[in-house]
Chain A
Amino acid sequence: MNGGQDLGGTHGHGPVKPEPNEPVFHDEWEKRACALTLAMSAPGGWNLDMVRFARENRPPREYLSMTYYQIWFAALERMTKERGLVSDDEIEAGHSLYPPKPVRRVLSPGDVAKTLHRGGPTERDTNTKPVFAVGDKVRAKNINPLTHTRLPRYVRGHVGTIERVVGCHVFPDSNAHGGGENPQWLYTVRFDGRELWGADSDATIKVSVDAWEPYLSPTT
């Protein structure tokens, strides 16, 4: 979706402000928002792409006025409510009012290290061959789905070069919306700064994105 999250190349946000000796968390609630989000993916049964869509799918003015963990927490509330795991009146009351729904799995303390170490690999076996090879010129398609996509606006319609054939990976555009993993070939595509930003751009800049095959078309 062309939402507030798709920030590449937008203007007016001001300078970057690094914070010396920054703590990992700035407030106690941020710790809880982070850890609850990580722990709830087991019983919640959602995948990372669904989580990303739950975070970005809100009015841009809202997205841009929230902090990172506010966005995380809002998405967690949204997903737990959508799946009937908690209800509005429970949140209002601050306590459980109804029996729990059966869930597949709960993250036990003994499994935390193991679960983090396993992570979530997204590469999948395939019988298909990649359409593009290193060095090929490709055009990023001009797509504007209302749903989740990982093709940023600033590369759409522009021509780049395949730099790396990464492998066959879970396709977020399907996976975020219950369409299954639908694995697709993934490429690192490199663009010249001038191709993206015009003749006045710095000629020494090259920008790459990681793009799935359905995002790309041949240039000839």
Chain B
Amino acid sequence: MQLRTRALETILIEKGYVEQAAIDQLIETYEKKIGPRNGAQVVAKAWVDPKFRQWLFEDGTAAIGSLGFGGRSGNHLVALENTASVHNMVVCTLCSCYPWAVLGLPPLWYKSAPYRSRAVADPRGVLRDFGMELPKDTEIRVWDSTAELRYLVVPMRPAGTEGWSEGKLVELVTRDSMIGTGRPKHPGELP
């Protein structure tokens, strides 16, 4: 694959269809700039700011856009509220649609056949693969991203974080908790 990608890249650059510097910049953007840290800021704000929280669930695109996030794989954003009785989980069974604008590029498992096949039929089994067991009566809402809506799960705020600043809460928000396959960290898990 190394040789094949190099060959095509060389041809496309020689023909002037792509610029090397643009390629490098795209890679750097998704390696360093656009990642789950964006989504974590959205979630932390929703934990401390009731007005923002309401806005987020009413119009995810606008509320998240107010923090500067949106655009590619994030033009139409929907935030999903986890509660004591409802747990949300996001998948794309047909390809690997994922809210890049707030979470960056998807992890391998999200794009894999095991996740895409089972998330819609056996979400509890999938959660067990992540070491997560939900109460039997919790409703599980699975969102299959079949159009250009991109979903962001807002997990429940961990106990024992009363009075914490938004900046400190960001550290608790994990990528998987925003896909619905994990929980935020507990205060004791921070270094």
Residues of A with Cβ closer than 8 Å to B?
A: 5-11, 13-19, 22, 24-29, 31-36, 38-40, 43-44, 52, 55-56, 64, 68-70, 73, 76-77, 80, 85-86, 90-91, 94-96, 100, 103, 106-109, 111-113, 115-123, 150-152, 154, 166, 169-170, 172, 186, 188, 196-197, 201-202, 204-212
- For B88-113 the 0/1 string (1 means CB < 8 A from A) is 00000111100001001101110111
23 pairs of residues in contact across A and B, judged by CB atoms under 8 Å: A7-B117, A13-B114, A16-B114, A16-B129, A25-B27, A36-B9, A40-B12, A64-B113, A68-B111, A73-B1, A85-B12, A85-B15, A86-B8, A96-B11, A100-B16, A106-B18, A107-B22, A118-B72, A119-B101, A150-B146, A152-B146, A169-B148, A210-B145
Residues of B with Cβ closer than 8 Å to A?
A: 1-12, 14-19, 21-27, 29-31, 34-35, 70-76, 93-96, 101, 104-105, 107-109, 111-124, 126, 129-130, 136-149, 176, 181
Chain B residue numbers with a CB within 8 Å of A201 are 121
Do A108 and B14 have beta carbons less than 8 Å apart?
A: no
A108 to B22, CA, bound (A): 6
> Which of B112, B117, B126 has its CB near the most chain A CB atoms (within 10 A)?
B117
Chain A residue numbers with a CB within 8 Å of B148 are 120-122, 169-170
Do B93 and A208 have beta carbons less than 8 Å apart?
A: no
Do A17 and B109 have beta carbons less than 8 Å apart?
A: yes
A16-B130 in contact given A24-B30, A32-B9 (Cβ < 8 Å)? yes
Do B105 and A34 have beta carbons less than 8 Å apart?
A: yes
A86 to B105, CA, bound (A): 28
A109-B21 in contact given A28-B2, A119-B71, A211-B146 (Cβ < 8 Å)? yes
Which residue in A10, A18, A38 is a CB contact (below 8 Å) of B176?
A: A18
Which residue in B11, B14, B17, B140 is a CB contact (below 8 Å) of A204?
A: B140
